[in-house]
Amino acid sequence: MGSIGPAVCRPESKQQGDLFMRRRKFGTALAAVAIATAAAIPILAAPASAVTGCGAPGGIFPATPGAQSGVKFDCTTNAAANVNSITIADATNTQWHHGAARTVAVTPTPSTNTITYASGAIVAGDIGRPISGGCIGGAAFIRTAAATSATLSVNNGATCAATTATIEYTRSRVLTDANCSTAASSNLTSATATFAAADLRKSVSGGPFGAGAKITAVVNATTATVTPAPTAACTAPDTITIGAATYNASNAVIWAADPNTKQLTNSAAPPAGSGQAFSCSGTTLTATAAAVTAGGGFSAAYAKLKVVVIGTTTVTTTATTGTANTLTLAAACPAGVTAAAGTAVIGEPGGNAPKNGSAMTSLSAELNLAPTLVATQDDCNKNTFEGFQVIGSWNNPGSYGPGLAPPVTVSTGQISFPTAVISFAAFVRPQPTGDALLAGAHYEFVFPLLPTTLAVCTTGTPPAPANPTAISFGINPTVLATAPFLPTGSGNPADPSVRAIGPQTGAFAGKYSLNNSGTVIATGALPSCTIQAATVTPSFACGDA
């Protein structure tokens, strides 16, 4: 989404033009090419009489079910409002990158569907999980698993070598040999499918299957019933995706129960959303109740995932089993994990995870910038507005960069904003049961601590911003640098690269909270966006097209 070029600030007079040239230094650490190709590039007017809050013209685009969709949030604050943290609860129909994976050393046999590995590296619990890497064919998933070899759903390439393969922790997968009929039952077949009870109520998409299609019965490993039935027979062999979404008994899309790659962080005297996330004693890692509510829980499906626990020492190990709030580790916990210090990284990035450092967000601001932060700025009493833009880059759990504040207790990704003057960060926080800000499962985009109070000109005692400010950030649905690319169909179909819309239609809106050191300054709903069913005529009803 967004514009086709960078924002341009045009001075209204020669004097302002001279100031404009001096003010540009704030963003000189950014690459020009990244600015020119960023997600949403808003052009902000000077906030002459701002009202504290977030709203129009931000929005979602594209606005169709299943779209890889970007979003833009626009917020302003008045001269008296001192805001240093922001929480954006994204709409309940959106999904953010979250999937867990592990890596395994394998040797694919050329032109066959066989891979070999060290004894026990792949187990029966991996059957149905996508696998990628090296010469492994596109859309491959594991069909059978023996002690030292496994068969896949597709053949490997003709030229192969030993490689590190990524195994996705999901049964969401792609069938490349599907056949289907318009019958009411047993209407989907695939020789490689390995259908099982775990596939019930997973979505079925592609080919002639329509909106809301889901598996309602598993007949055997090669045959399933999809409801509603397709309107036409498949053009066999067809390519069909299983499990891009999961439905409940009421046919509503539900939160994915698949494991998440995530980071749990303990901190002291935290900004809102931080604190103790876990404890570690013996070989047991235990998530706090607050962390479990924020998506930091586990299950038996977390077995064999990589776990890195950092205290005063670091232990890299694996999970042997899990419950709702505990992981049993293969090695003992490190020293130095306390309620106020420690980090645990669960899982590894999936095959389609954003690469660390890839640009995916733009943040623009307009404010009366204090010369105490950037010495080249003019005096505060000039009451002039400085405009700047920085590009945010994605970091996966375990690779977070430094910021002004510790990460939130549970996060599935960090967006870092490094500049020549100061660096800060936002985090993607899962909320699988909803929270006080927004009911229903959703993801949140959280700035625990923005450098606003350091950057703006202030007045009074205690000091408060002397002028209004405006801030806008746009998020790409995919990162700007993802190479090397996976073969088509590889990876986890239920895990977007950054952000996507689920298969729901109707009006959806997120909410925001503007805060200062834990005190809520303003809260409210973001602009509503109606997600429209796909038609032959594109709709531009939502967002900044």
Q: List the structure tokens of 496.
A: 């977007």
Average pLDDT, the chain: 87
The answer to whether 526 touches 510, Cβ cutoff 8 Å, is: yes
Q: What pLDDT shows up at residue 324?
A: 97
If pLDDT is split at 50, 70 and 90, which confidence band does 396 have?
Answer: very high
Question: Cα-flanking dihedrals φ and ψ of residue 151, to 5°?
Answer: -110, 145
Q: What pLDDT shows up at residue 37?
A: 30
Rounded Cα gap, residues 58 and 39, in angstroms? 13
The answer to whether 264 touches 278, Cβ cutoff 8 Å, is: yes
Q: What pLDDT shows up at residue 132?
A: 97
What value does the mean pLDDT take over residues 97-106?
A: 97
pTM of the model: 0.89
Q: What pLDDT shows up at residue 49?
A: 56
Task: Provide the phi-psi class of 134: left if phi over 0, else alpha when psi is between -120 and 50, else beta.
Answer: left
The answer to whether 43 touches 72, Cβ cutoff 8 Å, is: no
Percentage of the residues of the chain whose pLDDT score is greater than 90: 69
Tens digit of pLDDT for each residue in 418-467?
A: 887 888 999 999 999 999 999 999 999 999 988 877 889 999 888 889 99
Length of the chain: 545
Rounded Cα gap, residues 469 and 495, in angstroms? 35
The answer to whether 498 touches 97, Cβ cutoff 8 Å, is: yes
What value does the mean pLDDT take over residues 133-147?
A: 97
What is the CA 178 to chain-centroid distance, rounded? 30
406 vs 201, higher pLDDT: 201
56 vs 297, higher pLDDT: 297
What value does the mean pLDDT take over residues 288-312?
A: 97
The answer to whether 195 touches 186, Cβ cutoff 8 Å, is: no
* pLDDT beyond 50 at 39: no
What is the CA 541 to chain-centroid distance, rounded? 24
Q: What pLDDT shows up at residue 536?
A: 62
* pLDDT beyond 80 at 541: no
Rounded Cα gap, residues 230 and 234, in angstroms? 8
